[in-house]
């Protein structure tokens, strides 16, 4: 018996599920689609790379960088000494990295907004979503490089 969900809709749903961390097997089961088909879509669309960008957020990066600054300052305090030139240089480099992050919109923000919008648009007007989602995917791919 043929799958009642059209192929294009299954692919769009599969991508949405994948970005929400469903396993390929779970997606295959949910959409009644062979797992090797899901795997081909994941590879062809570079979905893993895109999803990885989604999980590395600006806030996490800044938090990790600021933790490094705290560790450097604590080490100097524990030894009752001022920061040395190497530690000061590291802190300046970290500050510049944080400044760069503040100036750029993180790719994960694009993905998050597009994902929420796609979920909404699929429910509201699936035909419009089919036309719109490929543009979003191209936009994200261009910014991921």
CA atoms within 13 A on the CB side of 100: 8
- Using DSSP's 3-state secondary structure scheme, residue 106 falls into coil
Contact residues for 129 (Cβ-Cβ < 8 A; gap 6+)? 12, 118, 121, 122
Q: Which DSSP category does 2 fall into?
A: -
State pTM to two decimals: 0.46
> Which phi and psi (to 5°) does residue 78 adopt?
-60, -30
Angle at which helices 47-55 and 126-144 pack, to 10 degrees?
Answer: 80
* Domain boundary assignment for the chain: 7-54+107-144, 59-103
Per-residue pLDDT tens digits for 94-132:
998 888 776 566 677 788 888 889 889 888 998 898 888
Average pLDDT, the chain: 86
Structure tokens at 42: 């994941």
Per-residue pLDDT tens digits for 47-105:
998 887 767 777 778 888 899 999 999 999 999 999 999 999 999 999 988 887 765 66
SS3 content of the chain, % helix, strand, coil (to 5): 80, 0, 20
Contact 35, 65 (CB under 8 A): no
């Amino acid at each position: 018996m043929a799958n009642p969900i059209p192929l294009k809709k299954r692919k769009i749903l599969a991508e949405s599920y994948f970005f929400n961390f469903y396993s390929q097997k779970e997606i295959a089961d949910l959409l009644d689609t062979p797992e090797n088909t899901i795997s081909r879509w994941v590879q062809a669309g570079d979905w893993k790379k895109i999803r990885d960008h989604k999980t590395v957020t600006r806030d996490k990066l800044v938090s990790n960088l600021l933790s490094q600054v705290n560790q450097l300052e604590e080490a100097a305090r524990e030894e009752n000494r001022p920061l040395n030139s190497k530690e000061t240089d590291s802190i300046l480099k970290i500050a510049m990295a944080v400044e760069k992050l503040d100036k750029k919109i993180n790719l994960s923000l694009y993905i998050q907004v597009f994902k929420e919008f796609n979920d909404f648009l699929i429910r509201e007007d699936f035909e419009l979503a089919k036309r719109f989602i490929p543009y979003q995917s191209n936009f994200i791919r261009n910014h991921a490089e």
